[in-house]
Structure 1
Amino acid sequence: MTARKRLARGRYDPRVGPSASGRPVSPAIGPEERLAMNGMGSFDWDLDQGVFDLDEAGLRVFDLRPEEFNRSPDALVLRVTHEEGDRIDRELRRAMQSGRRSYGGYFQITRRDGVKQWTHTQGTILRDEHGYAHRVVGIVRDATDDLTQAPPAAAPAEGEVPPRHSFSSIVGRITEALSHAVTIDDVTAVLTGVGGVERFRADGLTLSLVEGSNMRFVATAGELMRGVPSFKPVRLIESLPLADTVLTQQPQFFADNDELEARFPLARPFVEKIGMDACAFLPLIAQSHSIGGLALFYRGRTRFSREDRELCAALAGILAQSLQRAILFDQEREFATGLQATMLPRHVPRFDGAEIAVRYHAASSGREVGGDWYDVVALPQNRVGLVVGDVQGHDTHAAAVMGQLRIALRAYAAEGHPPSTVLARASRFLAELDTERFATCGYAQLDLTTGTLWTARAGHLGPLIRHTDGRTGWPNVRGGLPLGLATSFDLQEFPETRLDLVPGETLVFCTDGLVEERDADITIGMEALAEAVHHGPQRAEELADHLADNLWQRWGSNDDVALLILRRSPDPGTTRAPRIHQYVHQADPEGLADARLALRQALTAWELDDLSDDIELAAGELLVNVLLHTEGGAVLTLEVLPEPVRRVRLSVQDRSSVWPRRRTPGEAATSGRGLLMIDALADNWGVEPRGDGKAVWCEFGPEDGEDGEDSEDGEDGERAEGEGGGGGGGVTDTDPTA
């Protein structure tokens, strides 16, 4: 290889020799080596799989050994405190939700030897074709020099605390820490959290806010303040240094406790208690008004230089601006949440035969107000209307639209209209409002006497049902477009779905904030809700608390949530006459097996095991015919009739008005023997009208002579045959071709 070629390639091959200039050329340095030489490491975070890959240089930044890192973000907890980790997580979440391509920030880690190290991370967010973040690739580096290097300064005078950081770096750290503070609680968290006091180069601090003629202390932090009881509010006219600073809007610095006590004698007990050597009292001024005061306490300081005073003034100004924003935000949020509260029902009516629980959870970001709502409407004839809805947006306008829509929908429901009509009229009402908002809504009417439930939805989740045996499921409820949009597109059709809620079953209505999280499939949240309901308490109020404690904390939702739970009161009968109910859905393939198991368990508990085989066989015949030859599910009831002879009655209710008839099938027939089987197994059987359908029942008792009486076999069966109609091969077979 010639020297010209070696120079052109820009590298040195030790097997060839020196370059043309006679000086050896450095070997090639790859990207990883270049990062490592500058104290940088790289990471690759797969958000879908939860895998966090960190290269060798990155492990050195975090002072981790390879065996201490398991490719999980949780492994970094060895070096990163929870507070710092949460702060970085919040920044990443904000970047993902706002659609930004990158994020970054400073945080502290604790190295193996206990030394605090400032670290900086910068990441690029990769998104799929739908805009959802699925991967983050970035770098981490030791940023200690960023925050500690400063131009050469004069040596500190005697009694001064040597500067640990430059003026600009201290101001920059405070500004960055407060940049994400939205509420007063956020601001105080910066001061009282990890590194809060150190950011001000102090050993203790107190923060107060002006409230009328009083000063309220909202934060204390630092080693000097340990063991000091909470300060009570004080009047601004009292002769205290911080109050005087707030009134005069002039900072005050005391490097001599005697000087402080001479001017403010009331401060003597406090000075003696904390053992400080110097202090600074700074007014927090915003728009020419004092909004609070900051007191800084020091050990080992005997003077304040001009630079110290300028730095304190700059920090107080930054803190005052953050507090002013936080105060205004809290006031606006208080107004918005108050508006939201007045728009929601203040009281939920009570009903005999049902337990109802409601919850509202504000969003975890923004003004913590939105358009989610719930409502419970008392209807005639022992019926109840259940409403859950969500107006688009998370602001006061959404809350105002929600209030108008809730009242209108409540009025339509109270007029007695079916769910489809209620939603159609509500959609027309919303479209006529002077707003561009739309709303999703779910509405159901429940007859508390029969358990019949008619429901419709407008772009909203349907209800979740928990059955008496603990199973949970999302019934297939047909739906239409969201309210407002349905009218705009002239598609105001909201088909109704009929369900049956038997005694002891629970209905759960919620808005999507409870089950939906950005960058996650909503079905994951729906499965989590179903699982939480399955394992939750039976009582409605306790179940509502259970869901709030588990799911709201799990998702940390940026959306508000409305939750409505109704549980039909159980109907266990009495000690001598126990009773169970179970609903078998037409589309549930496991429903028959679950029903048979429930029957056998109940009969075992009632000490009637000897009847289990006959009752299970009869129940299977009745249920199969309902599921095959009608358009809905079946309500199964099993109860003990103690008088005059202890019998067991099995009842299967369906929605068909066609009564069964008994036939005599031919030898080659494959159906038509249902009634013959029931007639052979049961002591008595019959048919009763039930609402818009019927119930076929049969009774089973002990063998002849066991209880001293014989049964009148078949009397009711003959009556049922004479009154029956239709045709078919089973008790409720309504197929005329069978």
Structure 2
Amino acid sequence: MERSWDGAAEAADGAREPRRSRRSLLGRPGHERPRRSGIALPDLLALNRMGSFDWNLDSGAFDLDPGGLAVFDLRPEEFDGTRLSLLPRVSQEEGYRLDAVVVQAIQQGRRSCAAYFRIRCRDGTPRWTHAQGRILRNGSGRPYRMAGIVREATAELADSALLNISDEERERQTRLVQWTTTALSRALSVEDVTDVLTAPGGPLRLGADALVLGLVENGVFDVIAATPPLDSVPELLHMPLDRTLPLSDAALTREPSYVTSHEELLQRYPRLRPYVRNISIRSAAFLPLVAQDKVIGALALINTEAKVYTAEDRNLALALAGVIAQSLQRASLFDQEREIATGLQASMLPRRIPAITGGDVAVRYHAARTGRDVGGDWYDVVPLPQGRTGVVIGDVQGHDTHAAAVMGQLRIALRAFAGEGHPPQTVLGRASRFLAELETERFATCTYIQADLASGALSVARAGHLEPLLVDAERHVHWPTVCGGLPLGLATVFGEDHYPETQLFLEPGSTLLLCTDGLVEQPGSDILAGLDALTGAVRDGPGELDDLADHLSDLLWEQPGSPDDMALLLLRRLAEPGGPAMPRIRLRIHQADPTGPAEVRAELRRMLDQWRAGAVAGDVELVATELITNALRHTDSGALVSLELRSGPPDRVRLEVEDGSSHWPRRRNPGETATTGRGLLLVEALSDRWGAEARGAGKALWCEFTVPGPEDS
């Protein structure tokens, strides 16, 4: 009676190692026992696409019978009795994995091991293969030989509903589904979804080399995303829905289709022949995207290598298509609602910016990138009597359509108050009372500036809003201190609807920047960091006003998931003929403002530091304090302080303090016990030059200080 294979293995256990044979155990000449059917055992194996192998673990010799050679698609002359002969068929990655399976089985003391793996046939097509072998050990338990069966398994895997895939493959597929679900859960818009799928490495995460994604609308198939090289076929991006193309075919039939070769693709869809002639497509899956029983599009996963789509592959592809379909449907609804909301917001903003004399204006508005609703940010430019211009920036509390509606009403009211020619403090006071009378719980921050670009005078009033930024023609940036009050609406509720005005000056070629906090504030970040970033972006940005507005929007605001609206307004005074203006600031101090001198000194200190005035900065601040004190004490008006950097060599700082008195200053000789009369002596001692000039109804005292050069520091 013929001994079974297991019996032969058991008999071999504990025996000395047999002599290595150059032929398979089951295929040795002279040992073939004919079956009753007249077919030898090796031939029976070959009929079932099986063969045997015999691997000497000590010497490394590896024998295959003719059936085994057929499984590996090798000719006898291509096989030299070593595993190296299999390298043209078994990839290095698969070889490492098979070695790991054998080593693990030996280390764990198992008597057999088995594995599925892929080989590449002579014509390039992949073939699933299964090997199972018995590990033979000697009397001391040392393994010296493995013998077993190798067989084709492509049909088995393709027909099996439950694949015998490795734990590593199952883990990979689990990670793939988890990644896709997590990434798409954060995608709000259709653009966000396509960004996830087409990002670097996106197709590979889906198990493909490239992909094409399209949506169906009104009988038309629109491709909305494609990765190279499939994005280079513009003729196929917008086509009627029919069955001549694979994606529209999948959408029409609601059935997935799979192709395993370039020839099969062109045979089924000959219309593609002119477009994919030079594109390597060896296999592809075309999947309908169905959400709530409605076909919304189709997805193509393209591979540049041949691939047999097993049942597990197809189930995984359909699962991914379902996740993508749900995400696209949700994103489409988000885009529709957002379009309605942003349309409402846009209708409430100025449709055009009027031309202004002596200056240019650039404005930008962006709705938040998170949430379906827009907010209450706005801007406005108002022509005023006597050639002046009013500029407004504001933000109504909240991020919903109610905030946008309140913003629209408030903007129109404020524009009407400004158009009547009222000063900024009156405009904001009336706007606050108007908002309080709307009986809404919303408040608003706002800055209103009345600008006379002929002279450069700016009258600024601020209601809880960010201060403006000034940048001169030489790109020196500073944030002037601007007095302010409570936000509009709240100020009236608390009876504090008075807004003090601050006088600033815009030099020729200089720019005023107004913005809402959406440009400089991000959740979890300090707003001071945002203000510093804005300062740097303005300093390093382009010179043209529109280019600068785009630069600020792109650099600071247009980030994924920007949580707030953003309004931006830039006002530039045109440069005077004769070259760029010298860096200069002008600050006004009111007679009854007790904090005015300290605020002016702080601004002077900031500018001198920015101009790198060095040791002379302290002298300038001390002289400025003396001149401001004299102007406020000895006149009935306020003081206008100007600070200017004049190019050298050497560079000089010029300080001017102007008042409304016509009384000319005179030098005194105070005694030792006198408490006054030393002001001009101090000015003369600390400055390099000084003097007085008539200015209409008043006068100006000026003095100049030489800025030390680097060699003097």
Residue 296 (structure 2) aligns with:
291
Secondary structure at the residue paired with 1:157?
Answer: helix
Secondary structure at the residue paired with 1:588?
Answer: helix
Residue number among 522, 525, 544 corresponding to 1:517 in the alignment: 522
Q: Is 1:319 paired with 2:332?
A: no
> Does the 8 A contact of 2:221 with 2:238 survive in 1?
yes
> Does the 8 A contact of 1:662 with 1:676 survive in 2?
no
CA 1:671 to 1:354, structure 2 compared with 1: closer, same or farther past 3 Å? farther
Alpha-carbon distance between aligned partners in 2 of 1:382 and 1:569, rounded to the nearest angstrom: 15
> Does the 8 A contact of 1:584 with 1:592 survive in 2?
no
Deviation at 1:297, TM superposition (A): 3.4
Alpha-carbon distance between aligned partners in 2 of 1:173 and 1:622, rounded to the nearest angstrom: 65
CA 1:583 to 1:592, structure 2 compared with 1: closer, same or farther past 3 Å? farther
Alpha-carbon distance between aligned partners in 1 of 2:499 and 2:241, rounded to the nearest angstrom: 63
Residue 466 (structure 2) aligns with:
461
User: What amino acid is the match of 2:379?
Assistant: Y
Q: Is 1:421 paired with 2:434?
A: no
User: What amino acid is the match of 2:336?
Assistant: Q
Output one character per residue of 1:603-627: Cα deviation in whole Å (capped at 9) or x when no partner: xxxxxxxxxxxxxx99997984245
Residue 219 (structure 1) aligns with:
225
Q: Is 1:588 paired with 2:601?
A: yes
TM-score, with normalisation over the residues of structure 2?
A: 0.62
Alpha-carbon distance between aligned partners in 1 of 2:494 and 2:605, rounded to the nearest angstrom: 43
Gaps of 5+ in 2: 1-95, 98-151, 589-596, 614-618, 633-637, 647-653, 705-713
Alpha-carbon distance between aligned partners in 1 of 2:515 and 2:282, rounded to the nearest angstrom: 58
Secondary structure at the residue paired with 1:634?
Answer: strand
Alpha-carbon distance between aligned partners in 1 of 2:330 and 2:533, rounded to the nearest angstrom: 38
Aligned pairs for 1:25-40 within 5 A = none
Pairwise CA RMSD:
4.7
Deviation at 1:396, TM superposition (A): 3.3
Deviation at 1:422, TM superposition (A): 1.5
Deviation at 1:379, TM superposition (A): 0.8
Alpha-carbon distance between aligned partners in 1 of 2:365 and 2:374, rounded to the nearest angstrom: 10
Residue 121 (structure 1) aligns with:
none
Residue 696 (structure 1) aligns with:
700
Aligned-pair identity in percent equals 48
Q: Is 1:552 paired with 2:561?
A: no
CA 1:698 to 1:180, structure 2 compared with 1: closer, same or farther past 3 Å? closer
Secondary structure at the residue paired with 2:252?
Answer: helix
Residue 433 (structure 1) aligns with:
438
Q: Is 1:634 paired with 2:641?
A: yes
TM-score, with normalisation over the residues of structure 1?
A: 0.60
Residue 715 (structure 1) aligns with:
none
Deviation at 1:406, TM superposition (A): 1.3
Residue number among 219, 227, 247 corresponding to 1:242 in the alignment: 247
Deviation at 1:325, TM superposition (A): 0.8
Deviation at 1:378, TM superposition (A): 1.2
CA 1:310 to 1:457, structure 2 compared with 1: closer, same or farther past 3 Å? same
Output one character per residue of 1:443-471: Cα deviation in whole Å (capped at 9) or x when no partner: 12123344332222111112123356654
Larger radius of gyration: 2
Residue 181 (structure 1) aligns with:
187
Alpha-carbon distance between aligned partners in 2 of 1:527 and 1:260, rounded to the nearest angstrom: 57
Aligned pairs for 1:333-732 within 5 A = 333-367=338-372, 369-433=374-438, 435-467=440-472, 470-536=475-541, 540-552=545-557, 557-571=562-576, 582-583=585-586, 586=597, 587-588=600-601, 591=604, 624-626=626-628, 628-630=630-632, 631-635=638-642, 652=656, 654-657=658-661, 659-660=663-664, 662=666, 672=677, 687-689=694-696, 694-696=698-700
Deviation at 1:302, TM superposition (A): 6.9
Residue 193 (structure 1) aligns with:
199
Secondary structure at the residue paired with 2:155?
Answer: coil
Residue 135 (structure 1) aligns with:
none
Residue 208 (structure 1) aligns with:
214
User: What amino acid is the match of 2:394?
Assistant: G
User: What amino acid is the match of 1:696?
Assistant: A
Secondary structure at the residue paired with 2:563?
Answer: coil
Deviation at 1:655, TM superposition (A): 4.7
User: What amino acid is the match of 1:460?
Assistant: H
User: What amino acid is the match of 2:446?
Assistant: C
Deviation at 1:384, TM superposition (A): 1.5
Secondary structure at the residue paired with 2:391?
Answer: strand
Secondary structure at the residue paired with 2:341?
Answer: helix
Deviation at 1:196, TM superposition (A): 2.8
> Does the 8 A contact of 1:592 with 1:623 survive in 2?
no
Query: What number of residue pairs does the alignment pair up?
Result: 522
Alpha-carbon distance between aligned partners in 1 of 2:484 and 2:620, rounded to the nearest angstrom: 37
Alpha-carbon distance between aligned partners in 2 of 1:368 and 1:280, rounded to the nearest angstrom: 38
Deviation at 1:399, TM superposition (A): 2.6
> Does the 8 A contact of 1:504 with 1:571 survive in 2?
yes
CA 1:522 to 1:658, structure 2 compared with 1: closer, same or farther past 3 Å? farther
Secondary structure at the residue paired with 2:386?
Answer: coil
> Does the 8 A contact of 2:388 with 2:453 survive in 1?
yes
* Mean Cα deviation higher: 453-462 or 244-253: 244-253
Alpha-carbon distance between aligned partners in 1 of 2:690 and 2:263, rounded to the nearest angstrom: 103
Output one character per residue of 1:382-426: Cα deviation in whole Å (capped at 9) or x when no partner: 222121111122333333322222112111111122222222222
Deviation at 1:191, TM superposition (A): 2.1
User: What amino acid is the match of 2:196?
Assistant: V
User: What amino acid is the match of 1:688?
Assistant: R
* Mean Cα deviation higher: 416-425 or 360-369: 360-369
CA 1:481 to 1:272, structure 2 compared with 1: closer, same or farther past 3 Å? same
CA 1:558 to 1:168, structure 2 compared with 1: closer, same or farther past 3 Å? same
* Mean Cα deviation higher: 488-497 or 468-477: 468-477
Alpha-carbon distance between aligned partners in 1 of 2:270 and 2:622, rounded to the nearest angstrom: 90
CA 1:659 to 1:381, structure 2 compared with 1: closer, same or farther past 3 Å? farther
Output one character per residue of 1:20-68: Cα deviation in whole Å (capped at 9) or x when no partner: xxxxxxxxxxxxxxxxxxxxxxxxxxxxxxxxxxxxxxxxxxxxxxxxx
* Mean Cα deviation higher: 275-284 or 259-268: 259-268
> Does the 8 A contact of 1:363 with 1:558 survive in 2?
yes
Deviation at 1:662, TM superposition (A): 4.7
> Does the 8 A contact of 1:618 with 1:678 survive in 2?
no
Output one character per residue of 1:70-129: Cα deviation in whole Å (capped at 9) or x when no partner: xxxxxxxxxxxxxxxxxxxxxxxxxxxxxxxxxxxxxxxxxxxx99xxxxxxxxxxxxxx
User: What amino acid is the match of 1:186?
Assistant: D
Deviation at 1:257, TM superposition (A): 6.3
Output one character per residue of 1:150-176: Cα deviation in whole Å (capped at 9) or x when no partner: xxxx96536859853366555444322
Gaps of 5+ in 1: 1-113, 116-153, 601-616, 640-649, 701-738
Secondary structure at the residue paired with 1:446?
Answer: strand
CA 1:674 to 1:485, structure 2 compared with 1: closer, same or farther past 3 Å? closer
Deviation at 1:365, TM superposition (A): 2.8
Secondary structure at the residue paired with 1:357?
Answer: strand
Alpha-carbon distance between aligned partners in 2 of 1:394 and 1:215, rounded to the nearest angstrom: 35
